[in-house]
Structure 1
């Protein structure tokens, strides 16, 4: 290694007197590619009396770039509160063409928390290790650092008047803008005269709406708050008072600006929620009305005005003879907006509203709504006088089967319906049908639909002449065993030479059958027609007719199947063509599906080679929308699957779609239909048999699944336990989150040993411990031999930290206590202690006073003197503070008990929680300080 230290004299004479010159440091690193340490430090070099060194990460600091920093070499031995300011540049020298050297500049205030500073992604490792680029030559890298240490202004001891002759203004909380403006105005002497600022009005409107400032932003707590203070408002408001002080000189003063209160709008609740209602005098009479959504009530003036002023209210004393302090409570119902109407315009404002005052488009819309409402009312009132008749035809079957439906024959909701009076003779209804469809009455024959025991719905029998002679109402009552308000019919029309002909006479031997054709190549099912057959006949006798209906050759070999039912499972059986229809139990309304005979050697060419397999597919197919678990609101892709697909089938299809070789690395999570979020627990490997099981949530079906790609197979992962451990560095103010994955039978000691390989310790022999933190309190220190299988990191935070040396050597006259941050939440009138921030342990000695403990706490937390002087210290027991004085002995306050379980007693640090906040744990609604966070998996 070669080190050169050079002073750039050319810049010395141009430096300010108080700033020393910059120094340049060159570091030659040989055998660079053989460096096997994560970090690599240069030799120490001195600039302006301070020791520095360059720190590099040869393989990158968790990135694919070279990481390089400037480090304070002796930071561990410097006194408390040290800091230094430096401007510096770091460079990787191009040893072929110096002009291509990579150099980056920055500046930083170095201190105990940030003792190194630089660039995590200085340059890509691919560029560095490319020999042709000139940065790595003969396995040697040359690093240059130029450092200039600047003088730190000590603002605590700085005297502006002594140094400059001028006096500054103290920043009193975001007052820097005002301070700078006041200084500017002060040093323009001409401006030294009284200033007048305000608002004058040229005129006032006839309707005056005053918004009371009930909601505002609290800069101290960084949140919106509601102001519940008392504000009294008058029934009459005179804006001409005091000689019209609110009016501009050129205002029209002939108008009398006397206003009367018309409405009081009220908000009841807090800043995060509540309820709105209004007190209104519609005609400005003495009677007030409360409009609370759909409820309107009469109210007196006290309720409308005085009770809406806000402020506090005293509860009546129950024991007047005793000297009890009256209890006050804040009223959360108060006025937030007032509406006044000018007296001189009262008659114009409170006027009658005629139809002409309503916009034309609104009149048309309201009239239409009223007509529709009247029609619905009339329809409902006359419903008992009418019957709805739904008529299905061959055209409906042809249109729906294979498109909207596959099972049964028709969706009756989509066929033509007729609303007919019940007293209408059925023959007159047939005339109505003739007008609608153009089919003469004598050519119509209607069939009654019937629901079978297997829940299918088929034409059952034709209407008799006696039934057709009845009224529509009588016919519905006779034929409708389910007492439905509707009458469903099938209209049979026979076609001869493309013209309707009278339907043939039907005997008891005749059976009406419906036929569907299946094409395995196109995966298509369609309706092709119907036929009458003899019950004693055989299917083989109608094969030529079926071939004709399908457009096949007369001698085409076809297979026949009877569609029996589809709920809850599909039942479709092969028909023996040489067995009579009667023996096959075929009856009126049955459905026969047929297809070309598929040779055995050709069956593998089709996904669904026969009718039963196709109907099974249709019945169970399911379009599933898959979403990445990282983006649960967005559909990633969709797959058509079968409800009967096994767990292995589903993950294999997902893996194939995303191009993953190993399906066992897919982990699925079901959808919660109520929260519209992923379920908290993922689906265990092969724990659910079919896709249908994955999509059911409390008897509700979903079509959404979430997926994630694991780095190891799921069966292997399920044998492991993954814990999210938050590591707090002993000296650096940062939090690092690690996911520790170990076998379920591992112990806490194994977790700590694994964590030691991932984190940076303050010294090699440092010992770690694992804590359970909940709502900013420490509830448990895990024993090293405790099994991790039952440890839950979903609701509790698992915090790992180094054990301080003072806790390892606790003497008989020492005590280990809990120390927590807390604040009193004055919002919503709640004065109980609210914990926040990071809790910790502390050793207190027998004779140690609070003053002594405070010094150690300030040093541990590195809090500035000005801020720390505002903190209060209290002994907390069950949430009640007992404030301590500097002379109090802390040791005597705490009982000698197992401190690890004594979280109800602690030393409380009361101060404002002004730090930026982040979620402390998955399901905690408290917050903690926003320290630098790194997440490693």
Structure 2
């Protein structure tokens, strides 16, 4: 949480600030209203078993952890968490579930259950919602219906067009919903919503507000009079010299950076020339203006000079002609000839056969391309006719050999000294074409370690045309890794701002550009990792992350198993046996597929591992209990899952915790099964007495009594057994995590800035 005070560094001496606010992020998913979110916020978490609380001097202790409020602020801001990361689609998605919030919010409800024992109970925490709509600079008050019912989200049913017919009603999702609630405490309303006089505003703020008002009035006036004015942008040789060689290589000038004039459309162009004379100190008789033309490659070139007749027109008439030439603004090039003393000279005559060419000089040693001047040349002339003038422009001797290159579609010519045979390998880019290819494709790439995906580690300038091998070689050189094939790269997801779930395969892309593109966006970020073996070898292997659950201890260990792709599940289990502690030497292991706290599959030992996915599913290895090896004809092997009720829909369940299998005998009652479950899970009597047991089918619970025979509800070899199971209903006391360890999900919380 950050409080950012604008202009804090330049505030007057003695200026103080006081802010009292509270911003709570409330879950929308699984909660039907604000009160349900507060209930979830203050839930007590039990710290026990492997999750005991570490108390100084006393070691690990069973404990309860929770959040209560010491007090509430006069202004309460509630941020509704309506976005979450969808790991299946690898993007953020909006939660449009229905979520209600009242006009009046009573946080003293149920005898102040949200408040700590030390809270001041004399303060009445009754809040009223304030309904305002923020639309850019316009703030308006909303009526209750628009602010409440229409912003709850959820689904809405359209009225039937033919009520007499038995038509299925059409429902649609309401995408308009609130995500920020502002409540003001009733007892503080008069202090917060009060009249503000000018004397209540600090002097420096009054000055700033007055400047803002004047600026707003100026912009308003400009907007009202915009039809009376036009913008003229005038480029000169100085502008070409300044910008060429930095960002402009394939064009002459960036028109956003040249001097501009705001001129009344009715002004005669001759008068505009006087304005230019004052601005640049160039008398009108030494000025010649050219119109720019936009080329098909989106660059601009001076096309032709204004005719004497056009110079008698108004600025507005010239602008209209420019618009017909598809120019949004009136762009002009000012041609001026300067002598050795830098004073203006009379302009040379121009015939119809004369063409205006612009010249850039390339220096391969400095890797620099710069503008050096312009010339009128005859359309029928030859390059050798202008070589003496080009040598003079560049400061070369008249016997220097030079090479000329036409840039794009003409009007710009690049030239350089002819490369000597013995210097061909001396420069990275020895000639104009190689340099411009580099410029066209150069890209600064920010590399981040995959272990620290939020921090830039280093940057490298590369070419988008670099091959896969060239990219990893550059990275290996930077990291000091002797074998580039040990570098594995992962692309960036532009939407989640995280690494993509799958790394780039060895030579799986042709160019650097392919590594940087994500859908229709181009990134400048790549993630790297240094492997212990070359990537081609690694890709010939299958790497699986397997969690091993010890049979008698509350221990879970994670193992990375690396085997040839044609290996089987049996090979995986044998590898695990060599790494873990077994209950006895001949223990038999099995491999399970677990997803969202349910067991979906027991892998056959002869199943190939090549297509097993551990990206989103947890692979769990465990010993096979002896009781499962000798199932009787009427025994049942059932799934047992933990669950709580869905807070919004009490008929639905939400699973959590570690699922497991259990053998139940034909005539076994729930009472007997409970004893075995309590012993297996080591739950204290006080807590276990509150647990409920239900047969769950398709997410709906049917509760058992202690005397009920459980096996009768379960069939043998039932298809979809993960959806029909014995459910253990009790609170989820495990510590909350930002994401499940088995899922490639990324937290997406961003800081909230509050400007005071």
Q: TM-score range by the shorter chain?
A: 0.7 to 0.9
1:339 has 2:159 as partner: no
Is there any run of 5+ residues in structure 1 with no aligned partner, and where?
A: 1-111, 114-170, 176-207, 216-225, 235-245, 249-258, 267-276, 279-289, 305-331, 566-585, 926-937
Query: Contact (CA 8 Å) 1:780, 1:901: kept in 2 or not?
Result: no
1:437 has 2:286 as partner: no
2:348 to 504, 507, 514: 504
Determine the C-alpha separation between the residues in 2 that align with 1:802 and 1:209. 54
1:862 has 2:706 as partner: no
Determine the C-alpha separation between the residues in 2 that align with 1:213 and 1:476. 52
1:910 to 701, 706, 729: 729
3-state SS of the aligned residue for 1:379?
A: helix
CA 1:608–1:299 in 2, change beyond 3 Å: closer, same or farther?
closer
Question: 2:657: which partner in 1?
Answer: 837
Question: 1:559: which partner in 2?
Answer: 403
Determine the C-alpha separation between the residues in 2 that align with 1:747 and 1:377. 74
1:530 to 374, 378, 385: 374
Query: Contact (CA 8 Å) 1:450, 1:460: kept in 2 or not?
Result: yes
Shift of 1:532: 2.2
1:811 to 617, 621, 632: 632
Question: 1:593: which partner in 2?
Answer: 414
Using structure 1 for the length normalisation, give the TM-score: 0.60
Determine the C-alpha separation between the residues in 2 that align with 1:495 and 1:784. 88
Query: Contact (CA 8 Å) 1:265, 1:335: kept in 2 or not?
Result: no
Shift of 1:618: 1.0
Question: 1:658: which partner in 2?
Answer: 479
More displaced 10-residue stretch of structure 1: 504-513 or 598-607: 504-513
1:521 has 2:345 as partner: no
Shift of 1:213: 14
Query: Contact (CA 8 Å) 1:477, 1:483: kept in 2 or not?
Result: no
Determine the C-alpha separation between the residues in 2 that align with 1:549 and 1:522. 18
Shift of 1:494: 1.0
3-state SS of the aligned residue for 1:414?
A: coil
Query: Contact (CA 8 Å) 2:77, 2:181: kept in 1 or not?
Result: no
Determine the C-alpha separation between the residues in 1 that align with 2:192 and 2:568. 79
Cα offsets for 1:498-544 (capped at 9, x unmatched): 22111011112322221111111111111111222333333223322
Determine the C-alpha separation between the residues in 2 that align with 1:372 and 1:334. 32
Shift of 1:722: 1.8
CA 1:380–1:600 in 2, change beyond 3 Å: closer, same or farther?
same
Shift of 1:396: 0.6
Query: Contact (CA 8 Å) 2:245, 2:368: kept in 1 or not?
Result: yes
2:315 to 464, 468, 472: 472
Shift of 1:719: 2.6
Query: Contact (CA 8 Å) 2:549, 2:555: kept in 1 or not?
Result: yes
Determine the C-alpha separation between the residues in 1 that align with 2:744 and 2:468. 34
3-state SS of the aligned residue for 1:465?
A: coil
CA 1:662–1:848 in 2, change beyond 3 Å: closer, same or farther?
same
CA 1:608–1:232 in 2, change beyond 3 Å: closer, same or farther?
closer
The number of equivalent residue pairs is 614
2:535 to 714, 718, 724: 714
Question: 2:204: which partner in 1?
Answer: 361
Shift of 1:210: 6.8
Determine the C-alpha separation between the residues in 2 that align with 1:382 and 1:519. 49
Determine the C-alpha separation between the residues in 2 that align with 1:709 and 1:335. 49
CA 1:603–1:924 in 2, change beyond 3 Å: closer, same or farther?
closer
Cα offsets for 1:295-337 (capped at 9, x unmatched): 425679xx99xxxxxxxxxxxxxxxxxxxxxxxxxxx999965
Cα offsets for 1:777-810 (capped at 9, x unmatched): 2222112222222222222211111101111111
CA 1:467–1:710 in 2, change beyond 3 Å: closer, same or farther?
same
Shift of 1:886: 3.5
Query: Contact (CA 8 Å) 1:264, 1:339: kept in 2 or not?
Result: yes
Query: 1:770-789 alignment to 2 at 5 Å?
Result: 770-789=591-610
Question: 1:142: which partner in 2?
Answer: none
Determine the C-alpha separation between the residues in 2 that align with 1:227 and 1:860. 43
3-state SS of the aligned residue for 2:360?
A: strand
CA 1:334–1:352 in 2, change beyond 3 Å: closer, same or farther?
closer
Query: Contact (CA 8 Å) 1:264, 1:335: kept in 2 or not?
Result: no
3-state SS of the aligned residue for 2:414?
A: strand
Shift of 1:635: 0.6
3-state SS of the aligned residue for 2:462?
A: strand
Query: Contact (CA 8 Å) 1:781, 1:900: kept in 2 or not?
Result: no
Shift of 1:757: 2.1
Is there any run of 5+ residues in structure 2 with no aligned partner, and where?
A: 1-48, 51-61, 67-71, 80-99, 109-119, 148-178, 746-756
Question: 2:393: which partner in 1?
Answer: 549
Cα offsets for 1:719-761 (capped at 9, x unmatched): 3222211111112210011122223333222222222222221
3-state SS of the aligned residue for 1:371?
A: helix
3-state SS of the aligned residue for 1:369?
A: helix
CA 1:443–1:456 in 2, change beyond 3 Å: closer, same or farther?
same
Query: 1:736-815 alignment to 2 at 5 Å?
Result: 736-815=557-636
Query: 1:638-717 alignment to 2 at 5 Å?
Result: 638-717=459-538
CA 1:335–1:440 in 2, change beyond 3 Å: closer, same or farther?
closer
1:296 has 2:116 as partner: no
3-state SS of the aligned residue for 1:852?
A: helix
Cα offsets for 1:657-710 (capped at 9, x unmatched): 111111112111111112211122222222221111211122211111111122
1:373 has 2:220 as partner: no
Determine the C-alpha separation between the residues in 1 that align with 2:223 and 2:574. 77
1:462 has 2:282 as partner: no
Shift of 1:356: 4.0
Query: Contact (CA 8 Å) 2:463, 2:512: kept in 1 or not?
Result: yes
Using structure 2 for the length normalisation, give the TM-score: 0.74
Question: 1:446: which partner in 2?
Answer: 289
1:418 to 248, 261, 267: 261
What's the RMSD between the two structures over aligned residues? 3.8
1:390 to 210, 233, 246: 233
Determine the C-alpha separation between the residues in 1 that align with 2:476 and 2:576. 33
Shift of 1:441: 0.6
Question: 2:750: which partner in 1?
Answer: none
Query: Contact (CA 8 Å) 2:104, 2:127: kept in 1 or not?
Result: no
Query: Contact (CA 8 Å) 1:214, 1:228: kept in 2 or not?
Result: no
Shift of 1:838: 1.6
Determine the C-alpha separation between the residues in 2 that align with 1:812 and 1:714. 51
Cα offsets for 1:271-310 (capped at 9, x unmatched): xxxxxx32xxxxxxxxxxx54554425679xx99xxxxxx
More displaced 10-residue stretch of structure 1: 674-683 or 726-735: 674-683
Query: 1:115-154 alignment to 2 at 5 Å?
Result: none
CA 1:371–1:775 in 2, change beyond 3 Å: closer, same or farther?
same
Shift of 1:853: 2.5
Determine the C-alpha separation between the residues in 2 that align with 1:396 and 1:672. 39
Determine the C-alpha separation between the residues in 1 that align with 2:260 and 2:387. 36
2:671 to 833, 848, 851: 851
Query: Contact (CA 8 Å) 1:817, 1:899: kept in 2 or not?
Result: no
Question: 1:608: which partner in 2?
Answer: 429
User: Highest relative contact order (Cα 8 Å, sep 6+), 1 or 2?
Assistant: 2
Shift of 1:852: 2.8
Query: Contact (CA 8 Å) 1:816, 1:841: kept in 2 or not?
Result: yes
Query: Contact (CA 8 Å) 1:214, 1:227: kept in 2 or not?
Result: no
3-state SS of the aligned residue for 1:648?
A: helix
Question: 1:877: which partner in 2?
Answer: 697
Cα offsets for 1:424-452 (capped at 9, x unmatched): 11111111111011111101111111123
Query: Contact (CA 8 Å) 2:293, 2:325: kept in 1 or not?
Result: no
CA 1:525–1:771 in 2, change beyond 3 Å: closer, same or farther?
same
